[in-house]
Structure 1
Amino acid sequence: MSDMTETPKSAAMQKLPLIIILCVAVVGAFTLRDYLSFDALRDNREALIAFRDANYLMTALAFIAVYVVIVAFSLPGAAIATLTGGFLFATFPGVLFNITGATLGATAIFLAARTGFGAKLGAKIEASEGPVKKIKDGIDENQWSMLFLIRLVPAVPFFIANLIPAFLEVPLRRFVISTFVGIIPGSLVYTSVGAGLSEVFDRGETPNLGIIFEPHILFPILGLCALAAMPIAIKAITGKKGL
């Protein structure tokens, strides 16, 4: 018969992956900022291009692996990594490499958070009563829409968008699909900016990372947000649950 009680040792082991991620994130924030920067990319661009030309497949795989590590450990430089994907591999397949790395890294955080705290917290919320339970029920009824919204809205930090689903017992498959699809618009914008970095470097300028908030970019993304929110609005108006 299996022991149904959770020992302190097993509870600590479950929290260990998330604790490691948080510790590495704190250390990385102070030690890697100068290495994962626009200046570092500019200063090493010729070496990177030469290595890519000589080892394209290895470069692509190494790039995705580095992107996974950056996202999984919430290290500084995710935006620079996305620009680098466009700089090295053009808008396509650069955007595909960026999305793949970001999705895998986000999934690592999601699993670590769900294993460490999310499953237990979700079970407690499910067994409770009151406003918190009602909020969770509302989110559960519109999970796809909510997941796409937190990915599409530029103001939601990527790290937070990875943690919230873990605490709300979102299925892994649903998390992965919504992450991969939901980050396509933003990734496409920044990858295309990265694809034009050679001209930016030649002019001695820095890329405009605020381009996503310019009207011709922001309005279409907000339109996608409205589309994702439409099922929620319809349910709120009609008072009917989705099928």
Structure 2
Amino acid sequence: MSDMTQPPANPFLKRLPLIVIAIVAILGAFFLRDYLTFEALAENREALIGFRDNNYLLTALVFIAAYVVIVAFSLPGATMATLTGGFLFATFPGALFNILGATIGATGIFLAARWGFGEALGKRLEGAAGTVKKFKDGIDENQWSMLFLIRLVPAVPFFLANLIPSFLEVPLHRFVISTFIGIIPGTVVYTSVGAGLGEVFARGETPNLGIIFEPQILFPIVGLCVLAALPIIINALRGKKGL
């Protein structure tokens, strides 16, 4: 039994949240790309720090809300938002604020996609036969591993990692938990980069966003990916032995 709220019966109403997200995402790509940038943060850093110092709680709440909107509507600047979280609030609690905002925003996309297309597509996959049915069953048997893998692997776009589970009938609680935990490594790395932006600004440089692919960062994340994939590998080997 699904833990989702029943969607509206009208097909247009079911797809309306996704339509709104798509429209806002397109508009945001055109009108916000010059505002959610490293240069914009550098120019406004003193004003942001001053506002934070005078209104810490309000700044934290507004920041989390802004992060939710950026992720939920797939607006440009998610990486800059993560860096800003580190710049304003340090690695901790900045990483926590980033993770909360990203998880809530991702859940919004997940629900919109589930209401719009996910349930119908899930039923089609469940009723399919042959290879498609085996693929769907294999994912169902390893949902936790699959969810953590798509969060941990840096090559999987965040937007796709929100959509794929919605089409595979993943329960809401599994999506939320795996998203919150799975994005911790990458988020902490980028938040720590943001926490050092003060020195970067002073030198007139730009942050090294490729740091996540450096060996001392990438290898531990690859190790986590291997651990997440172990149940899938074990189940596959058991399946072969049973043939």
SS for the counterpart of 1:185 is helix
Q: CA deviation at 1:130?
A: 2.1
TM-score (norm 2): 0.94
Q: Which AA in structure 2 matches 1:144?
A: W
Q: Which AA in structure 1 matches 2:181?
A: V
How far apart are the structure 2 equivalents of 1:82 and 1:115? 28
How far apart are the structure 2 equivalents of 1:15 and 1:200? 44
Q: Which AA in structure 1 matches 2:209?
A: L
How far apart are the structure 2 equivalents of 1:47 and 1:96? 23
Match of residue 233 from structure 1: 233
How far apart are the structure 2 equivalents of 1:141 and 1:44? 49
How far apart are the structure 1 equivalents of 2:186 and 2:12? 37
Q: CA deviation at 1:235?
A: 1.0
SS for the counterpart of 1:239 is helix
Q: Does 1:196 align with 2:203?
A: no
How far apart are the structure 2 equivalents of 1:70 and 1:85? 13
How far apart are the structure 2 equivalents of 1:23 and 1:136? 31
| Aligned 1:157-172 pairs, distance under 5 A | 157-172=157-172
Q: Does 1:224 align with 2:220?
A: no
Match of residue 5 from structure 1: none
How far apart are the structure 1 equivalents of 2:9 and 2:199? 55
Q: CA deviation at 1:236?
A: 1.1
Match of residue 100 from structure 2: 100
TM-score (norm 1): 0.94
SS for the counterpart of 2:10 is helix
RMSD over aligned CA atoms reads 1.1
How far apart are the structure 2 equivalents of 1:46 and 1:24? 29
How far apart are the structure 1 equivalents of 2:69 and 2:137? 33
SS for the counterpart of 2:165 is helix
Match of residue 14 from structure 1: 14
Match of residue 51 from structure 2: 51
How far apart are the structure 2 equivalents of 1:215 and 1:9? 50
Number of equivalenced pairs: 233
Match of residue 209 from structure 1: 209
Q: CA deviation at 1:9?
A: 7.6
Match of residue 27 from structure 2: 27
How far apart are the structure 2 equivalents of 1:33 and 1:232? 39
Encode CA deviations 1:48-79: one digit per residue, 9 max, x unaligned: 00000000000000000000000000000000
Match of residue 149 from structure 1: 149
| Aligned 1:32-43 pairs, distance under 5 A | 32-43=32-43
Stretches of structure 2 that go unaligned for 5 or more consecutive residues are: 1-7
Q: CA deviation at 1:237?
A: 1.2
Match of residue 76 from structure 1: 76
Match of residue 3 from structure 2: none
When residues 9 and 223 of structure 1 are mapped into structure 2, their CA distance, relative to the original with a 3 A threshold, is closer
Report % sequence identity. 76
